Structure 1
């Protein structure tokens, strides 16, 4: 099969019409990481009546235990279709071993460091090749952390990032037991016995997560842990990032609290930084939760238009610029 890219092998796996939307599913094989079996699924959504006029590209990154369906339901609902219908060129990435991306040979060892160092740059280059301009990036939860790691590690060039929006993403919440070395060592010993954490088994979502990612998280939250990898401090690197950044927190999100989401935003060196907390106290219709902030009926009227406004203007509406975290 002829490649859809001059960068590296890319196969167009399917091209379908889904109501008013066109859905193209690509499989990228960048060959840029030590594991040469890595293949990444990338779904493009557009309005099939406007295929000759592509809009501004937006790349969506799902969180842990998730896949493209977080953004795009089989019924054509979600932030992805909403943005496509608003005229954006929407690309939905699936991390290694998630959704339509097959499990790679070293799946159990996959880490945020791999996603940030190898996968996001490959996705960025392919989308730029197709769209001819830098994309806006939106990440939810772990997706936002991966995006922050790629920017803070300077793996993802800022010339490929028009803006970054982080929904429910933070790395500052402290888990005090993990600061006790024997507790961390014990957790590491137990986790190494498993190849993956089961999303369905833990009732966290439809996908599994590789154990390498869990071990990496333990290291971040250990006694001398930091957000980074050996030889590269991602947290410190964020201070020199200049792209426009939006951080969105949810008042009823106890997993990723608002104060921690704001702390991540404030580490960026960007001149354009915006923060909003989704809660009744700040004029929203609901106190949103971690998932509900993007997947719920209230999100369709409160949050999706907010995201669209950010993508068009790189600022919040005036009515939302005074929100503070709880």
Structure 2
């Protein structure tokens, strides 16, 4: 990465080009955005733009959003491997977002309070606006796990609409798995009090990934899953709002995913109107080579052979490959 910070052109908010590099056959531009649109003005977000050297511009823009305890390396390894490089080599204009305090994005002043509500209401719309400004068209979105949940929140809260989302793909994303102890109010309240003693959840200590997560996310999740909880914030019911979505939404679930089970992933997309919702199960019963797992659905040799082409087909044509088409539309 170049040490110099270069000013970048944007009429939306301050943006710095942190570096422009050639990584083998890939071009890598790293931007730091300072939207200034949230109650915490210190928030800065980093986007990595990938292209294929010599391919020129004009590719369909797609934004990749990582899950919890993760960063851009989920999509783009230091060796130039991953779904991000695959899509760039296929001609897409690839943007990889890193949430507040993850990867190259610095921790904001009120980092411990960060919630999905903040990502959905403030950060994703700012990212969408910048990518649209740079590419000249509405981007497609792909989110994994918490990244997909955040995208669902943004859709349900009407923070992203068809001006800033050409389509949305949710991989291993759900909010319906039941944690029965949290349905007992004293246990939920006690859990919140206990968690407030901490600043972060450590990804390394929990063996969940390379990044930490702010404790605000955990407290927010407890509220969603409580006895009278709902997928939303104090102002909006995101779950109910999904019924008003007018953007194509694809939910992809993995049969071997025990963290975010297929039935729950399907239940999330079933909130979207029938004309816009699609579902795909990655399972032997559906013609795939294995029952994929939560991570393996996007990061594995089998995913490279079978899932990445599915993503490219969806982004380029707005539908699933013919093999998957029969069960794609949730009716």
Give me the TM-score of the superposition, normalised by structure 2: 0.96
Segments of structure 1 that go 5 or more residues without pairing to the other structure are none
Contact 1:241–1:270 under 8 Å retained in 2: no
* Residue of structure 1 in register with 2:3 after alignment: none
1:30 to 29, 35, 41: 35
Map 1:97-108 to 2 at 5 A.
97-108=101-112
Map 1:47-66 to 2 at 5 A.
47-51=52-56, 53-66=57-70
**1:10 partnered with 2:15:** yes
Paired positions, count: 324
- Please state how far the C-alpha of 1:323 moved relative to its aligned partner: 4.2
SS in 1 for 2:163: helix
- Please state how far the C-alpha of 1:316 moved relative to its aligned partner: 1.0
SS in 2 for 1:92: strand
* Residue of structure 1 in register with 2:129 after alignment: 125
* Residue of structure 2 in register with 1:20 after alignment: 25
- Please state how far the C-alpha of 1:280 moved relative to its aligned partner: 1.0
Distance in 2, matches of 1:298 and 1:179, equals 38
Moved over 2 A (4+): 1-4, 321-325
- Please state how far the C-alpha of 1:272 moved relative to its aligned partner: 2.8
Map 1:101-116 to 2 at 5 A.
101-116=105-120
Q: Deviations over 1:103-125 (max 9, x none)?
A: 00000000000000000000000
1:187 to 187, 191, 204: 191
2:144 to 140, 147, 170: 140
2:252 to 248, 252, 255: 248
- Please state how far the C-alpha of 1:315 moved relative to its aligned partner: 1.2
Give me the TM-score of the superposition, normalised by structure 1: 0.97
Distance in 1, matches of 2:94 and 2:289, equals 27
Segments of structure 2 that go 5 or more residues without pairing to the other structure are 1-5
- Please state how far the C-alpha of 1:182 moved relative to its aligned partner: 1.0
* Residue of structure 1 in register with 2:45 after alignment: 40
- Please state how far the C-alpha of 1:155 moved relative to its aligned partner: 1.2
Distance in 1, matches of 2:306 and 2:7, equals 43
